[in-house]
A and B are shown apart, each in its own frame.
Chain A
Amino acid sequence: MAPRTLFDKIWDSHVVETLPDSTAILYIDRHLVHEVTSPQAFEGLRLSGRRLRHPDATIAVVDHNVPTSDRTLPIEEADSRNQIETLERNVREFGVTYFPLLSARQGIVHVVGPEQGISLPGMTIVCGDSHTSTHGALGALAFGIGTSEVEHVMATQTILQKPAKNMKVVVEGQVGPGVTAKDIMLAIIGHIGTAGGTGHVIEFAGSAIRELDMAGRMTVCNMSIEAGARAGLVAPDETTFEYVRGRPFAPKGKAFDEAVAYWKTLASDEGAHYDRVVELRAEDITPVLTWGTSPETVIPVTGNVPDPAAEADPSRRRQMQRMLDYMGLEAGQKIAGTPVDVVFIGSCTNSRIEDLRAAASVAAGRKVAPGVRAMIVPGSGIVKAQAEEEGLDKVFLEAGFEWREAGCSMCLGMNPDRLTPGQRCASTSNRNFEGRQGPGGRTHLLSPAMAAAAAVTGTLTDVRELI
Chain B
Amino acid sequence: MDKFTVLTAIAAPLPEENIDTDKIIPARFLKTTKRSGLGVHAFDGMRYRPDGSENPDFVLNQEPYRKAEILITYDNLGCGSSREHAPWALLDFGIRCVIAPSFADIFNNNCFKNGILPIVLPREVCTQLMDDARQGANSRLTVDLARQVIIRPDGREVPFDVDPLRKQLLLEGLDDIGQTLQHEKAITTFEERRAQAQPWIPRIVLD
Which residues in A have their C-beta under 8 angstroms from that of B92? Answer: none
Query: Residue B79 at the A interface, CB < 8 A?
Result: yes
Question: Do A156 and B74 touch across chains, with their CB atoms under 8 A apart?
Answer: no
With contacts A16-B187, A434-B45 taken as known, whether A59 is within 8 angstroms of B200 at the C-beta atoms is no
Which residues in B have their C-beta under 8 angstroms from that of A431? Answer: 20, 22, 80-81
Query: Residue B180 at the A interface, CB < 8 A?
Result: yes
Which residues in A have their C-beta under 8 angstroms from that of B18? Answer: 194-195, 294, 319
Among the 9-residue stretches B3-11, B24-32, B132-140, the one with 4 or more Cβ atoms under 8 Å from chain A is B24-32
Question: Do B75 and A195 touch across chains, with their CB atoms under 8 A apart?
Answer: yes
Question: Do B187 and A199 touch across chains, with their CB atoms under 8 A apart?
Answer: no
Which residues in A have their C-beta under 8 angstroms from that of B56? Answer: none
Q: Could you tell me which residues of chain A, from 439 to 466, have a CB within 8 Å of some CB in chain B?
A: 439-440
Contact with A along B75-106 (1 / 0, CB 8 A): 11001111110010000000000000010111
Which residues in A have their C-beta under 8 angstroms from that of B31? Answer: 36, 65, 77, 79-80, 82-83, 414
* Residue of B28, B45, B114 with most chain A CB atoms under a 10 A cut-off: B28
Query: Residue B54 at the A interface, CB < 8 A?
Result: no
Query: Residue A386 at the B interface, CB < 8 A?
Result: no
Picked from B30, B32, B76, the residue with its CB within 8 Å of the CB of A195 is B76
Question: Do A130 and B80 touch across chains, with their CB atoms under 8 A apart?
Answer: yes
Contact with B along A94-132 (1 / 0, CB 8 A): 010100000000000000000001101001000011101
Size class of the A contact interface (CB-based, 8 Å): 35 or more
Question: Do A37 and B202 touch across chains, with their CB atoms under 8 A apart?
Answer: no
Which residues in B have their C-beta under 8 angstroms from that of A434? Answer: 22-23, 45
Number of interface residues of B (CB under 8 A): 60
Query: Residue B156 at the A interface, CB < 8 A?
Result: no
Query: Residue A139 at the B interface, CB < 8 A?
Result: no
Question: Do A82 and B28 touch across chains, with their CB atoms under 8 A apart?
Answer: no
Query: Residue A379 at the B interface, CB < 8 A?
Result: no
Would you give the shortest CB distance from B28 to chain A, in whole angstroms?
Answer: 6
Chain A: which residue is nearest B35 at the CB level? Answer: A40
Chain A: which residue is nearest B46 at the CB level? Answer: A434
Question: Do A250 and B202 touch across chains, with their CB atoms under 8 A apart?
Answer: yes
Which residues in A have their C-beta under 8 angstroms from that of B114? Answer: 148
Question: Do A256 and B180 touch across chains, with their CB atoms under 8 A apart?
Answer: no
Q: How far is the CA of A198 from the CA of B84 in the complex (A)?
A: 18
Contact with B along A191-226 (1 / 0, CB 8 A): 000110011000000000000000000000000010
Q: How far is the CA of A48 from the CA of B110 in the complex (A)?
A: 20
Query: Residue A385 at the B interface, CB < 8 A?
Result: no
Q: Could you tell me which residues of chain A, from 47 to 86, have a CB within 8 Å of some CB in chain B?
A: 48, 50, 56-59, 64-65, 77, 79-80, 82-83, 86
Q: How far is the CA of A64 from the CA of B30 in the complex (A)?
A: 10
Question: Do B180 and A152 touch across chains, with their CB atoms under 8 A apart?
Answer: yes
Question: Do B82 and A129 touch across chains, with their CB atoms under 8 A apart?
Answer: yes
Q: How far is the CA of A321 from the CA of B82 in the complex (A)?
A: 28
Question: Do B82 and A259 touch across chains, with their CB atoms under 8 A apart?
Answer: no
Which residues in B have their C-beta under 8 angstroms from that of A149? Answer: 109, 113
Query: Residue A336 at the B interface, CB < 8 A?
Result: no
Chain B: which residue is nearest A59 at the CB level? Answer: B204
Query: Residue B155 at the A interface, CB < 8 A?
Result: no
Q: How far is the CA of A69 from the CA of B102 in the complex (A)?
A: 41
Query: Residue A396 at the B interface, CB < 8 A?
Result: no
Question: Do B109 and A146 touch across chains, with their CB atoms under 8 A apart?
Answer: yes
Chain A: which residue is nearest B127 at the CB level? Answer: A315
Question: Do A146 and B110 touch across chains, with their CB atoms under 8 A apart?
Answer: yes
Which residues in B have their C-beta under 8 angstroms from that of A86? Answer: 33
Chain B: which residue is nearest A412 at the CB level? Answer: B27
Query: Residue A25 at the B interface, CB < 8 A?
Result: yes
Would you list 23 pairs from A and B whose C-beta atoms are within 8 A, ordered by A residue? A30-B204, A39-B33, A40-B34, A48-B177, A57-B204, A123-B201, A129-B81, A129-B82, A145-B82, A146-B113, A155-B180, A156-B177, A156-B187, A194-B76, A195-B75, A195-B102, A198-B102, A230-B105, A258-B199, A259-B201, A262-B198, A315-B74, A440-B50
Nearest 3 CB-CB pairings of A with B: A148-B113, A144-B82, A146-B84
